[in-house]
Structure 1
Amino acid sequence: MTAIDPRITVGVDGSAGSAAAVTWAAKIASARHLELRIVHGLQVAGYYYGGGLSGVGTGVLLEAVWADGERALADARALAASIGPNLVITTEALTDSPVPALIDESRHARMLVVGRTGTGGFAEALLGGTAATVATHAHCPVAVVRGRAGAAEVPEAGPVVVGVDGSPNSEQALAIAFEEASLRGVPLVAVHAWIDASYAETYGSARILTPSETLEEEENRLFSQRLAGWQEKFPDVEIRPELVRDRPRHALLEASRAAQLVVVGSHGRGGFTGMLLGSTSRALVEHADCPVLVVRPERKD
Structure 2
Amino acid sequence: MSAPVVVGVDGSESALEAVRWAAEEARRRHTPLRIVHAQEIPAGYPPGFVDWHALHEALAAAGRSAVDDARRAAQEVVAGLTVEAVHVKAGAVPTLTEVSAHAALVVLGTRGLGGFTGLLLGSTAVEVTAHAQCPVVVVRGAHRAGPVVVGVDGTPVGEAAIGFAFAEASARGTGLTAVHTWTDLLLETAFAGGAAALDFAPLAQQAEEVLGERLAGWQEKYPDVIVTREVSRDRASRALLRHAEHAQLVVVGTRGRGGFQGLLLGSTSQHLLRHARCPVAVVSTHDGAEGP
**TM-score above 0.5:** yes
Give the equivalent residue in structure 1 for 2:284. Answer: 296
- Asked if 1:234 is matched to 2:217, the reply is no
Return the offset for 1:276.
Answer: 5.3
Aligned mates of 1:223, 1:77 — CA distance in 2: 42
**1:195 partner SS:** coil
User: Which consecutive segments of 4 or more residues in structure 1 shift more than 6 A?
Assistant: 270-273
* Alpha carbons 2:75, 2:81 under 8 Å: kept: yes
Residue 172 of structure 1 is aligned with which of 157, 160, 163? Answer: 160
Residue 37 of structure 2 is aligned with which of 36, 40, 58? Answer: 40
Alignment-mate amino acid for residue 162 of structure 1: V
Give the equivalent residue in structure 2 for 1:63. Answer: 57
Return the offset for 1:51.
Answer: 7.4
Q: Deviations over 1:242-299 (max 9, x none)?
A: 01110101100111010000000112128999x9534322221111110000011217
Q: Deviations over 1:164-197 (max 9, x none)?
A: 0112332210111011100101000000002269
Aligned 1:182-261 pairs, distance under 5 A: 182-195=170-183, 214-261=202-249
Change beyond 3 A, Cα 1:132–1:298: same
Aligned mates of 1:288, 1:117 — CA distance in 2: 14
Return the offset for 1:122.
Answer: 2.2
Aligned mates of 1:276, 1:222 — CA distance in 2: 22
Give the equivalent residue in structure 2 for 1:210. Answer: none
Gaps of 5+ in 2: 187-200
* Alpha carbons 1:8, 1:113 under 8 Å: kept: yes
* Alpha carbons 1:196, 1:246 under 8 Å: kept: no
Aligned mates of 2:56, 2:278 — CA distance in 1: 36
Give the equivalent residue in structure 2 for 1:15. Answer: 12
TM-score by length of 1: 0.84
* Alpha carbons 2:241, 2:275 under 8 Å: kept: yes
- Asked if 1:88 is matched to 2:93, the reply is no
Residue 116 of structure 1 is aligned with which of 97, 110, 116? Answer: 110
Q: Percent identity?
A: 47
Q: Deviations over 1:2-32 (max 9, x none)?
A: xx95200000011110010000001111232
Give the equivalent residue in structure 2 for 1:136. Answer: 130
Give the equivalent residue in structure 2 for 1:105. Answer: 99
Aligned mates of 2:226, 2:268 — CA distance in 1: 25
Change beyond 3 A, Cα 1:196–1:249: farther
Aligned mates of 1:62, 1:52 — CA distance in 2: 16
**2:51 partner SS:** helix
Aligned mates of 1:130, 1:241 — CA distance in 2: 33
* Alpha carbons 2:147, 2:246 under 8 Å: kept: yes
* Deviates most, 277-286 or 80-89: 277-286
**2:174 partner SS:** coil
Number of residue-to-residue matches in the alignment: 273
Aligned mates of 2:239, 2:212 — CA distance in 1: 18
Return the offset for 1:56.
Answer: 7.8
* Alpha carbons 1:17, 1:123 under 8 Å: kept: no
* Alpha carbons 1:191, 1:251 under 8 Å: kept: yes
**2:85 partner SS:** strand
